[in-house]
């Protein structure tokens, strides 16, 4: 992308609409609809429809407390959600989603805290961040690590591979990234890290391993009891701690 294009002002800017809620600084972005449905039932919440995603805010909440936003799929939609919630007041954002393991010692139901991401999606390049190195926020990551450790929950932290093309996770790519120590594959994190750097907000992520690709066969764990249990544990952990320790 040329320097002239990089310095262009966007014609369409994310803004607060007349009926949009004001959000506190802490927002949990929930990728998967069933996780969002479960979390939104934890407390009485007001629901705000944003056409292609929803925002939930605790009833009576003004500016404090955690809000929820989602669901979404893939980098373009994820970035549209984050742009909107930042315009509504979000400053510290945690992403709760799923991922596919690339490492033999990372199994279905384990947790991944992404630190950085290999971007194979088309959204990040539209957000020029100069010399910044997009990644998740160390302080938020430490909070997640402490909470997982207290709960005795297995987790790894490191680099993930973000792709727009789930049906092009080829054997050669899986092998190459596994050998480089990349932990898992997802569809959103690299773009969200880049946008966070661009908008000067903090982002972290907690991904549950839903499937395994490391042996070049697809092992699905979406219906397994351990995976379902870990999704429930992750949701409770995030809603209990996010917004309290930040």
Active site residues: 211
Residues 6+ apart with CB under 8 A from 114: 136, 157, 158, 159, 160, 183, 186, 189, 193, 205, 207
């Amino acid at each position: 992308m040329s320097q002239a294009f990089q310095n262009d002002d966007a014609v369409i800017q994310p803004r607060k609409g007349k009926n949009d809620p004001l959000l506190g600084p802490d927002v949990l972005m929930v990728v998967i609809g069933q996780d969002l449905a479960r979390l939104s039932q934890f407390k009485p919440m007001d629901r705000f429809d944003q056409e292609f995603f929803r925002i939930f805010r605790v009833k009576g909440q003004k500016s404090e407390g955690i809000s929820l936003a989602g669901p979404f799929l893939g980098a373009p939609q994820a970035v549209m959600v984050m742009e909107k919630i930042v315009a509504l007041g979000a400053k510290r954002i945690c992403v709760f989603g799923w991922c596919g393991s690339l490492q033999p010692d990372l199994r279905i139901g384990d947790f991944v805290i992404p630190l950085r991401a290999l971007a194979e999606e088309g959204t990040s390049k539209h957000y020029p961040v100069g010399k910044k190195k997009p990644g998740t926020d160390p302080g938020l990551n430490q909070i997640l690590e402490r909470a997982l450790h207290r709960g005795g929950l297995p987790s790894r932290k490191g680099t993930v591979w973000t792709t727009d093309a789930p049906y092009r996770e080829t054997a050669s790519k899986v092998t190459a990234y596994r050998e480089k120590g990349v932990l898992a594959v997802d569809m959103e994190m690299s773009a969200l890290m880049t946008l966070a750097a661009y908008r000067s907000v903090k982002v972290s992520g907690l991904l549950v391993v839903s499937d395994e690709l490391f042996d070049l066969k697809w092992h699905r764990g979406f219906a397994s009891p351990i995976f379902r249990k870990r999704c429930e544990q992750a949701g409770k952990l995030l809603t209990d701690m996010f917004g309290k320790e930040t």
